[in-house]
Amino acid sequence: MKIGFIGLGVMGRPMVGHLIAAGHEVFLYRVKDVSQHLVEAGKALDNPKAVAEAADVIILMLPDTPDVEAVLFGDDGVAQGLAMGKLVIDMSSISPFATKAFAARIAEIGAGYVDAPVSGGEVGAKNAALTIMVGASEGDFERALPLLKLMGKNITRIGGVGDGQTAKVVNQIIVGLTIEAVAEGLTLAKASGADPAKVREALMGGFASSRILEVHGERMINETFDPGFRIRLHRKDIGLALESAKALDLYLPHAANLQQLMNKAIADGLGDKDHSALIKALS
């Protein structure tokens, strides 16, 4: 299959590597020095329009909503190179409301649209073990599924376009608040004179056990804060959650508090550290 891939960051590079390894012909945009090696097996093009013209399926893995909008609808954007029957798969984590608007504009061209944000971080991307939350029509989902299976293991169609992004926002609330809970707990343990490592070890055998206590708790104790998933990007996702809450007249007090803790972490110079470094913002 001819696949376009735009967004060769920490997550995008290993994801496109799996597509290349499966034998697909891949057209690339936004190639930087760190992703130059991918050009040996793919082809770098000058702009998103050229990628869309060359490919049958165009996959995006970009940082934020404005990036996706610019790549889709800006000068020489993907939309200008699309034709009837092509498929756009956006694997970025962006606004559910914007996603629905983007999909409607793409549908006017006659192309399909799938929102498929991921969870699992760099490790999941490298191991093709990402959790992928999909919003799409049943037909577009079936078209996308063989490619998604090359990048992830737990792949769920939530519902129509935008529902995948909603699931990702929910994921980020739960992950972020659990990280904050672990950080507060270990901070209390240390201040009380207890060994945080021993406290964590004890809790791993009880009802408080979680993947975040296991992985992020260990990072907090060892102060190994290389990303991972950057606090700056997680704050962006919590911002999306609060935007959705405002639009829907919902009260999400703990998500709002989490955003403030992330604001402090970024003000303290921790924005590009792993989100487990939130513990440093408590001290």
pLDDT of residue 263: 98
Rounded CA-CA distance 210/207 in Å is 8
CB-based burial, 61-79: b 16+ in 10 Å, e otherwise: bbbbbebbbebbebeebbb
Confidence of residue 32 (pLDDT cuts 50, 70, 90): confident
Locate 111 and state its tokens: 């192309």
Rounded CA-CA distance 123/128 in Å is 8
Residue 280 reports pLDDT greater than 90 = yes
Q: Of 49, 86, 168, 273, which one is the catalytic site residue?
A: 168
- Write out the DSSP string of 213-264: HHHHHHHHHHT----SSBHHHHHHHHHHHHHHHHHTT---HHHHHHHHHHHH
Reported as a single tens digit per residue, the pLDDT across 65-111 is 999 999 999 999 999 999 999 999 999 999 999 999 999 999 999 99
Architecture of domain 2-160: 3-Layer(aba) Sandwich (3.40)
Rounded CA-CA distance 179/244 in Å is 22
Reported as a single tens digit per residue, the pLDDT across 216-254 is 999 999 999 998 889 999 999 999 999 999 999 999 999
Reported as a single tens digit per residue, the pLDDT across 211-223 is 999 999 999 999 9
Amino acid (one-letter) located at 217: G
Quick one: which of 14, 8, 1 has its CA closest to 36? Answer: 8
132/120: higher pLDDT: 132
Reported as a single tens digit per residue, the pLDDT across 138-185 is 999 999 999 999 999 999 999 999 999 999 999 999 999 999 999 999
pLDDT of residue 143: 98
pLDDT of residue 227: 86
Question: Where do the structural domains in the chain lie, given as residue ranges?
Answer: 2-160, 166-282
**CATH code 1.10.1040.10 for 166-282:** yes
Listed as own residue / partner, the contacts of 221-225 with beta carbons closer than 8 Å and 24 or more positions apart are 221/186, 221/196, 221/197, 224/274, 225/270, 225/273, 225/274, 225/276, 225/277, 225/280
Quick one: which of 258, 242, 240 has its CA closest to 180? Answer: 258
168 is catalytic: yes
